[in-house]
Structure 1
Amino acid sequence: MEFAEVVRRRHMVRRYAPDPVDPDVLDRMLAHAVRAPSAGFSQGWAFLRLETPADVHRFWTATTLDPDASNDWLDGMRTAPALIVPMSNKDVYLDRYSERDKGWTDRDESRWPVPFWHMDAAMASLLILLTAVDEGLGACFFGVPPESVQPFRREFGVPADWMPVGAITVGHPEPGGVPGSPVRRARAPLSEIVHHGQWS
């Protein structure tokens, strides 16, 4: 598939067919993810790969406050046969930029205008989403609620210095899935969001 077509077709899929995801495809998604840019080549990211029904169930149990909760979004997302949880580690970046070739001598977080540790993990996540489209699959990036982070860490043995930036469901899209916001909201035209030379 041509790259422009991959970008055009990318959308969030919220309901999946029961077919499993080929492990080789998940391998390619993660191999592409680590080709994302990384400040100072810090590579302060990690990915939890969940592809068995038991592990996927553990994720939903750990991150859903009410295990009996049911709504269109949650019921659809729970049909995904695979999940990837991208995580970032701030300390990796602070350590990297205190090394000699970066010129800083301490780990002062105030030098960072934005948290690049999260940004790099987010860019890696986009490569996972695009690879899913290229492989004929669907995917959806969504947030892990703050109150669910600790239960998630406990369930999967994730160290405290690793923060999930979100989670990605992966699977074969089921026709007629749960519609997302683009069904209700128009895409903003470039003329409203791109400013040439000066904001005006």
Structure 2
Amino acid sequence: MEIHEALYTTRMMRRLRPDPIPLETQTRMIDAAVRAPNGGNTQRWHFVTVDDPVLIREFAHLFREARDLEYAKFESGSGPMATPAPGSNIAAHADTMRRMKGSGDYLADHFEKIPLLIFVFAIDDLGGANIYPAIWSLLLAARAEGVGGVMTMVLRNFEDRVNQLLGVPAGEGWKMSAMLAMGYPRGKWGVAANRRPVHEVSSRNRWDAPFGLEVPEPLWPPHRDATARLATVG
């Protein structure tokens, strides 16, 4: 797969088929993840794959309970995504949250049928600087395999129980960074159409100074007249 296609079409997939993901495919995904850049090449990461249906059912109960906690925060206005970003459209944010909840409800309701969970752990990760490049590489590699997924942190509400179920040596400093629910998607891949354009979220040399180019539409897939997509400003 061409790199730009992977970058532009990889998105969070919550509606997943129950078809198992072959071990060889899982291996290629994680092998790409461990090639990601990380500070000092310390490689302080560990990936726990879960495809045991009994264990997935255990996590299904935890996931639904943790998600209820997060949405209670959201409804009270204290959740991390309750408030739209400065300058964004409030109505559009509310619509995005409704759609996300709908697909999240599907994931929660069908969690027992997810074929693969990947728990990602790290030590002293400085806010995710080392582990999130690896997670993104894993998701891009999954995209190349036709596998979709979604990254979630809600199970950190029950970190001790997760550690117990997986036998994590938490005393050594390992902490869960995220869980990935992976599977072959029911939906279609496509370029995200609801993104604010480059010139609205970027500045040059000083906050709120013009970036210098306007990007009225995504730059991929390329058109023959690609330069028509960029309008010089100022």
Deviation at 1:196, TM superposition (A): 1.8
The letter for the 1-side match of 2:202 is V
Aligned to 1:195: 203
Contact 1:144/1:165, CA 8 A, preserved across alignment:
no
C-alpha displacement of 1:72: 3.1
SS in structure 2 at match of 1:48: strand
Residues 121-153 of structure 1, C-alpha deviations (whole Å, 9 max, x = no match): 111100111011111111111113433111100
Q: Give the TM-score normalised by structure 2.
A: 0.65
Q: Do structure 1's residue 166 and structure 2's residue 174 form an aligned pair?
A: no
Q: Which is greater in Rg? A: 2
Match of 1:150 in 2: 160
After TM superposition, the structure 1 = structure 2 runs for residues 51-70 of structure 1, keeping only pairs within 5 Å, are: 51-65=51-65
Q: Could you tell me which amino acid in structure 2 is paired with residue 24 of structure 1? A: E
Of 115, 122, 125, which residue of structure 2 is paired with 1:88?
Answer: 122
Tell me how far apart the structure 1 counterparts of residues 158 and 63 of structure 2 sit (CA, whole Å): 5
Deviation for aligned residue 1:63: 4.5
Q: How does 1:92-171 map to 2 (within 5 A)?
A: 115=126, 118-160=128-170, 161-171=173-183
AA of the residue aligned to 1:87: F
Local SS of the residue matching 1:196 = coil
Give the deviation of 1:38 after TM superposition. Answer: 1.1
Equivalent residue number for residue 38 of structure 2: 38
Helix, strand or coil: the match of 2:65?
coil
**RMSD between aligned residues:** 2.6
* Aligned match of 2:227: none
Question: For residue 174 of structure 2, what is the amino acid of its counterpart?
Answer: W
Q: Is the contact between residue 15 and residue 79 of structure 1 (CA under 8 Å) also seen in structure 2?
A: no
Quick one: distance in 2 between partners of 1:54 and 1:37? Answer: 35
- Kept in 2, the 8 Å contact 1:63–1:152? The answer is no
Q: Which residue of 2 aligns with 1:101?
A: none
Whether the 8 Å CA contact 2:15–2:106 is kept in 1: the answer is no
Alpha carbons 1:14, 1:77 under 8 Å: kept: no
Give 1:79's match in structure 2, choosing from 93, 105, 113: 113
CA distance in 2 between counterparts of 1:63 and 1:18 reads 18
- Structure 1 counterpart of 2:166, which letter? F
Segment drifting more, 55-64 vs 39-48: 55-64
- 1:78 offset after TM fit, Å? 4.2
Instruction: Give the TM-score normalised by the residue count of structure 1.
Output: 0.75
In the alignment, is the contact (CA less than 8 A) between 2:131 and 2:177 conserved in 1? yes
Kept after mapping to 2: 8 A contact 1:141/1:169: yes
Q: Which amino acid aligns with 2:119?
A: V
Counterpart of 1:109? none
Structure 1: any 5+ residue segments left out of the alignment? 94-114, 177-181
How is 1:8-27 mapped onto 2 (pairs within 5 angstroms)? 8-27=8-27
Q: Please give the secondary structure, in 2, of the residue aligned with 1:168.
A: strand
SS in 1 for 2:154: coil
